[in-house]
């Protein structure tokens, strides 16, 4: 991501949304810029000062390497002469793959940065990759972001980020906190469909069921609302949907943030004493 702000940005003109063709093109630019700056020397390989090609982990047969890692062939994005015809899932799979393997392998640049340990160099490289990638995928479709754990998830509004990334800890990893974190990841991850999101809501519901008596004591009205929603919108039963025809694209996110904000508020009220 450029440190400069251009005229349009300074004038308050928003950047345009990207379609898939745009996304593929800017992705290729980013990957090859970073490759030229030696961020993929270890992964893809490089040409040394004597013109000899030094093989990386994936340069011998990139498609075969991706097949072994991801489970299907995706064409090579490095130094390509024509723009690859990627599907959306190809781009996002490659983003996660390259984030995993990016590593600045250049002693001069490492010295200039003052970073010498392997983990520090990897973290710096991944951060640089995320900054450039997120500037683009945030403008594609509904908006996405590459997290520090290497997974692409739905882009969160600034107001929801503290709730999701810093949600309160109840103190029971197995039955509550672990289930809450699992559900958050499941609901927001790239590729999460209606069934997956429903499963995430049920996971949160199961965690809240475990502490229902405490919820009743501290946030009685909200507790009643949560379990009414779980039943009314047929999340926990196989019988005929009680609220037929509701739009899950609207109601599932609403329920998700309602459940989480209630849980977060309950823990904070409890801890406050």
Mean pLDDT of the chain: 90
| pLDDT beyond 50 at 47 | yes
Taking alpha carbons only, the member of 193, 122, 164 closest to residue 260 is 164
**High-pLDDT (> 70) share of the chain, %:** 94
Residue whose entry in the numeric block shows the structure tokens 């991801």? 70
Could you tell me the pLDDT band of residue 242, with boundaries at 50, 70 and 90? Answer: very low
Q: Which helix (H) or strand (E) holds 145?
A: strand 144-146
Specify the pLDDT at position 261.
94
User: Residue 236 pLDDT > 80, yes or no?
Assistant: no
Contacts 24+ apart (CB under 8 A), 251-257: 252/187, 252/194, 252/197, 252/198, 252/201, 255/201, 255/229, 256/187, 256/197, 256/200, 256/201, 256/204, 257/160, 257/163
User: Model pTM?
Assistant: 0.85
- Tally Cβ neighbours within 10 Å of residue 132: 19
pLDDT, one tens digit per residue, over 160-199 is 999 999 999 999 999 999 999 999 999 999 999 999 999 9
Q: Using alpha carbons only, what angle is made at residue 166 by residues 120 and 192, rounded to the nearest 5 degrees? A: 90
Q: Which of 191, 183, 197, 180 is nearest to 253 (CA)?
A: 197
C-alpha distances in angstroms, 249 versus 83, 193, 220, 246, 262? Answer: 33, 10, 28, 9, 21
Distance (Å, whole) CA 123 – CA 241: 47
CB 203 within 8 A of CB 256: no
Q: Which residue has the higher pLDDT, 17 or 234?
A: 17
pLDDT for res 173:
97
Tally of CB atoms within 10 A around 64? 11
The model's pLDDT over 67-120, given as tens digits with 9 standing for 90+, comes to: 999 999 999 999 998 999 999 999 999 999 999 999 998 888 888 889 989 999
Cα separation, 17 vs 7, whole angstroms: 18
């Amino acid at each position: 991501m450029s440190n400069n702000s251009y005229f349009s940005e300074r004038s308050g003109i928003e950047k345009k949304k990207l379609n898939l063709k745009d996304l593929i093109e800017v992705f290729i630019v980013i990957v090859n810029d970073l490759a030229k700056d030696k961020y993929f020397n270890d992964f893809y390989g490089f040409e040394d000062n004597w013109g000899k090609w030094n093989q990386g982990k994936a340069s011998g047969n990139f498609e075969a390497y991706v097949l072994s890692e991801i489970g299907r062939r995706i064409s090579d994005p490095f130094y390509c002469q024509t723009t690859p015809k990627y599907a959306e899932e190809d781009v996002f799979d490659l983003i996660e793959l390259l984030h995993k393997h990016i590593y600045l392998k250049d002693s001069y640049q490492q010295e200039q940065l003052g970073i010498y340990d392997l983990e520090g160099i990897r973290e710096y490289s991944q951060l640089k990759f995320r900054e450039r990638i997120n500037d683009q995928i945030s403008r594609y479709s509904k908006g996405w972001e590459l997290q520090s754990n290497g997974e692409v998830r739905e882009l969160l509004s600034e107001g929801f980020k503290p709730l999701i990334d810093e949600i309160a800890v109840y103190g029971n990893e197995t039955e509550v906190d672990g289930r809450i974190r699992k559900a958050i990841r499941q609901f927001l991850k790239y590729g999460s469909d209606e069934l997956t999101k429903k499963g995430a809501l049920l996971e949160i519901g199961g965690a809240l069921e475990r502490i229902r008596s405490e919820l009743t004591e501290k946030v009685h009205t909200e507790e009643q609302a949560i379990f009414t929603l779980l039943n009314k919108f047929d999340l926990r039963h196989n019988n005929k949907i009680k609220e037929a025809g509701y739009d899950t694209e609207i109601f599932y996110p609403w329920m998700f943030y309602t459940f989480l904000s209630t849980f977060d508020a309950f823990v904070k009220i409890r801890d406050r004493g």
